[in-house]
């Protein structure tokens, strides 16, 4: 349609992605959530696409977009990478934070896992602090039902003050509630009172900083969020501010006020680490309060099996030996086991080569041409297929089984400490 970013009012976000609306009045919706909560399934069910955004090392971190409608309103859904926090410590968190906080989507749908809602609410609260228009989608309701976990979503909606939709995206259940929630939050323009209340010394500092930031921020919600993050002194965020909110980053008034507050904190013995820890603790405690009475378990021992497996696969005594045995077995099967199908495949393909050469001679094809095509091109292709195909056909299904079983995150956990000594994280073990 030849629509430019300027004409549609939103800038490109990352990796060259440019928001493409079908109509001027289409709304841009960010789809956020922790990794592995079914966010991409919600996106694909709504848009009819088959996309997956990456959140593991080795995959390009990018946003995906698709269009959908409820019959009245068109939406451009942007599936951003899964993240646990907006306080970015990795590329995927940075991409997610920048789009939600600085690219001004019309609303954010935060997808949560119904089987571990409390952990997911940490991100919900951080997003609600940064932007006003939020819909909470509690996905995997079918899995929660299987585990006999019951959720009172009406109570959660009342406590959060934003629409809450219960969905089972794989079976396409409840997705209409997302549209209902989006319509509601678009129509209700009033900004809710802040759910997060920091310790008093941080709240006092926010009040002092707010007048300097308010004039340059886009709305009261963003102003308060910016104040909190500036006080947190996250260098990663400062880089984003210099890119997206230059006026705030370069404001002498803001810098002077921040320096004054930090100096007072230093004199009072309050370290920057304490400020960050106090801020993080507030979100965790608030998520716990919100879940009280909302989540009910029929059996308190529903996760006993997972706990036992965690203990077995990640403990100091058994974690590493089991990991070495499993990985050794996987690589042995991949390398040694692949020799048999490789030999079989090469025998078949080279018999075909002889047959093709004979056929070419019988047909009177010039020798130089048949040598080039059959002993040259075909033979190389046969070697590549017979050598490469069997290991891949064994390794990838095995790796997929380990992932589905939930073992790979435990490997990442085991290796995290080792990788941190090399300034990396345990997740990178999966690509190595």
Yes or no: say if 99 and 64 are a contact pair by the CB < 8 Å rule. Answer: no
User: Can you tell me the mean pLDDT for 26-48?
Assistant: 90
Q: Is the pLDDT of residue 271 over 60?
A: yes
Q: For 53-62, 153-162, 366-375, which range has the lowest pLDDT when averaged over its residues? A: 53-62
Q: Is the pLDDT of residue 12 over 50?
A: no
* Rounded-to-integer distance, Cα 389 and Cα 97, Å: 40
Q: Is the pLDDT of residue 168 over 60?
A: yes
Say what the pLDDT of residue 1 is.
35
Structure tokens at 138: 């509690």
Global pTM value: 0.74
Yes or no: say if 212 and 260 are a contact pair by the CB < 8 Å rule. Answer: no
Say what the pLDDT of residue 91 is.
74
Say what the pLDDT of residue 50 is.
64
Name the average pLDDT for the chain: 85
* Rounded-to-integer distance, Cα 250 and Cα 237, Å: 14
3-class SS of residue 138: strand
Distance of CA 295 to the CA centre of its chain: 24
Output Rg (C-alpha) for the chain, integer angstroms: 27
Higher pLDDT, 25 or 6: 25
Say what the pLDDT of residue 221 is.
78
Q: Is the pLDDT of residue 297 over 90?
A: no
Higher pLDDT, 32 or 91: 32
pLDDT for 60-114, tens place per residue? Answer: 456 688 999 998 899 999 998 888 888 766 777 888 888 898 888 999 999 999 9
Closest among 233, 41, 225, 53 to 141, alpha carbons compared: 41
3-class SS of residue 423: coil
């Amino acid at each position: 349609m030849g629509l430019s970013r300027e004409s549609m009012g939103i800038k490109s976000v990352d990796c060259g992605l440019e928001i493409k609306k079908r109509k001027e009045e289409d709304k841009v919706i960010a789809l956020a959530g922790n990794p592995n909560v079914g966010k991409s399934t919600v996106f694909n069910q709504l848009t009819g696409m088959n996309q997956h955004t990456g959140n593991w090392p080795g995959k390009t971190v990018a946003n995906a977009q698709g269009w959908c409608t409820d019959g009245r309103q068109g939406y451009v859904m942007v599936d951003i990478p899964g993240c646990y926090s907006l306080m970015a410590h990795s590329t995927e968190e940075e991409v997610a934070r920048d789009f939600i906080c600085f690219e001004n989507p019309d609303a954010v749908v935060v997808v949560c896992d119904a089987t571990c809602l409390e952990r997911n609410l940490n991100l919900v609260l951080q997003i609600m602090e940064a932007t006003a228009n939020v819909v909470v989608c509690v996905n995997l309701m079918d899995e929660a039902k299987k585990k006999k976990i019951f959720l009172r979503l009406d109570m959660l909606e009342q406590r959060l003050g934003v629409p809450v939709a219960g969905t089972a995206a794989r079976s396409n259940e409840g997705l209409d509630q997302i549209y209902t929630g989006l319509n509601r939050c678009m129509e209700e323009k009033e900004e809710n009172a802040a759910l997060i209340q920091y310790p008093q010394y941080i709240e006092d500092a926010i009040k002092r900083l707010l007048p300097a930031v308010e004039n340059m921020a886009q709305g009261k919600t963003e102003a308060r969020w910016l104040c909190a993050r500036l006080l947190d002194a996250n260098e990663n965020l400062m880089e984003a501010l210099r890119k997206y909110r230059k006026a705030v980053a370069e404001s002498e008034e803001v810098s002077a006020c921040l320096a004054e507050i930090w100096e007072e904190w230093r004199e009072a013995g309050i370290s920057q680490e304490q400020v960050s820890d106090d801020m993080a603790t507030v979100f965790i405690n608030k998520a716990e309060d919100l879940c009280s009475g909302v989540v009910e378990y029929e059996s308190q021992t529903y996760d006993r099996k997972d706990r036992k497996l965690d203990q077995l696969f990640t403990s100091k005594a058994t974690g590493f030996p089991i990991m070495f045995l499993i990985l050794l077995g996987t690589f042995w099967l991949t390398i040694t086991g692949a020799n048999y199908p490789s030999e079989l495949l090469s025998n078949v393909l080279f018999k075909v080569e002889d047959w093709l050469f004979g056929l070419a001679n019988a047909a009177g094809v010039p020798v130089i041409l048949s040598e080039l095509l059959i002993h040259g091109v075909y033979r190389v292709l046969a070697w590549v297929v017979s050598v490469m195909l069997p290991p891949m056909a064994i390794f990838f299904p095995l790796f997929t089984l380990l992932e589905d079983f939930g073992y790979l995150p435990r490997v990442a956990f085991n290796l995290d400490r080792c990788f941190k000594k090399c300034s990396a994280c345990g997740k990178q073990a999966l690509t190595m």
